[in-house]
Amino acid sequence: MENFIVSARKYRPDTFESVVAQASITNTLKNAIKNSQLAHAYLFCGPRGVGKTTCARIFAKTINCTSLTPETEACNNCDSCKSFNSNRSFNIHELDAASNNSVDDIRNLTDQVRVPPQMGKYSVYIIDEVHMLSAQAFNAFLKTLEEPPKHAIFILATTEKHKIIPTILSRCQIFDFNRISVADISGHLEYVAKSEGVEAESEGLNIIAQKADGAMRDALSIFDQIVSFSGKSITYSDVISNLNVLDYDYYFKMVDQFLKNKVAEAMLTFNDILNHGFDGHHFITGLSSHLRELLVCKDPVTVQLLNVGGEIKERYKQQAQSADNEFLLKALEISNECDLQYKSSQNKRLLVELAIIRIAQLTLKKK
């Protein structure tokens, strides 16, 4: 049986060009290499799954490449690149600070730093989750970080910059990685699906992108999960059933009922949602998001803030024309109030039902 490689590893970027949605950072790193202006310490910070460690590895590989391409990318043909690609490079050292966070671990590292590289110009030390180092380990690391040998470059990666002591921060060039947008994640998932021979509906990929919350690694893990569930064809219905996401249709139907003051029908729709295994809090947060999307559709300037694509986007635009701003703002206020009170409420179902009745009554005078 052929060994399966998860998409997050199989499609891990190996060039600056293939890194998704971090162009400002990759361009800065490429320019630093091109102009031979390499700092001795870098700090890559940002949320999980956005490319911090990946960029550190690409940077480490590129600075040791002996024949860079005109685009300042590694050639993949020289001895240094080949040894890196086959995971046998002696120039790149990775330390996971989550499990190696003691003073002794850092002292071993600082002893290793003194040894010059056998091949290439630089020894690169990538320290992942650096915020996990103990206070004593940070202090032991300070002197080496301030005055390392000429051949040593440190790349520190962290998801929690605020936990790093100021004396470390002041010695590093700091790069803040962004959360990846829904559109960028969705676009990359389309490329992965095409490469894997998977037919995928854009609405389904959009849901995966939203669920990933700005992390490409999470998106690719969810993508693998859906492919395991549905095979070589990913549909919107497969995604929402597998990820336990409420169908957009429920929200479109309920807002139509609100606009026509159909209180009884709205109550029955909510009952149907509960019967499908969703809880009231899941529903009310989704309703708030739906009302927000309708509100941003009202103005051509804010349509770009819409987090959905494809046919669903057109449905939002159509429904937004039927609802006025006053209704949407008051409905959002009621749903948000319900969301805040949900955890402390003794009768959660009644709380949500009251919110539904209040929103439906907003249109009573216009009936």
**Residue 349 CB partners (closer than 8 Å, separation 6+):** 274, 280
Using alpha carbons, list the distances in angstroms from residue 220 to 22, 208, 355: 17, 9, 37
What architecture does CATH give domain 248-366? Up-down Bundle (1.20)
User: What are the pLDDT digits (tens) for 290-318?
Assistant: 999 888 888 777 777 777 666 777 888 88
What's the CATH code, domain 182-242? 1.10.8.60
- Give CA–CA dist 38/53, Å, rounded: 18
User: What are the pLDDT digits (tens) for 64-108?
Assistant: 888 888 888 888 888 888 888 887 777 788 888 877 777 888 788
**Model confidence, pTM:** 0.77
Q: Find tokens 């990666």 and name the residue.
A: 157
Indicate the CATH number of 7-176 among 3.40.50.300, 1.10.10.410, 3.90.230.10, 3.40.50.150: 3.40.50.300
**Which residues does residue 133 pair with via DSSP β-bridges, in sequence order?**
none
Residue 92 near residue 124 (C-beta atoms within 8 A): yes
User: What are the pLDDT digits (tens) for 227-281?
Assistant: 888 888 888 888 887 887 777 888 899 999 998 888 899 999 999 888 888 888 9
Residue 59 near residue 30 (C-beta atoms within 8 A): no
Q: How confident is the model at residue 367 (pLDDT cuts 50, 70, 90)?
A: very low
pLDDT at 27 over 60: yes
Same topology, domains 7-176 and 182-242? Answer is: no
Determine what percent of the chain is predicted with pLDDT higher than 90: 10
- Give CA–CA dist 357/331, Å, rounded: 11
What average pLDDT does the structure give for the chain? 85
**Residue 217 CB partners (closer than 8 Å, separation 6+):** 8, 48, 49
Q: How large is the average pLDDT for residues 106-118? A: 79
Structure tokens at 127: 């320290």
pLDDT at 157 over 60: yes
Using alpha carbons, list the distances in angstroms from residue 174 to 52, 187, 243: 12, 28, 36
The residue extents of the domains of the chain are: 7-176, 182-242, 248-366
Using alpha carbons, list the distances in angstroms from residue 152 to 30, 138, 201: 18, 18, 48
Residue 93 near residue 124 (C-beta atoms within 8 A): yes
Question: CB 259: neighbour CB atoms within 10 A?
Answer: 20
Structure tokens at 137: 């380990």
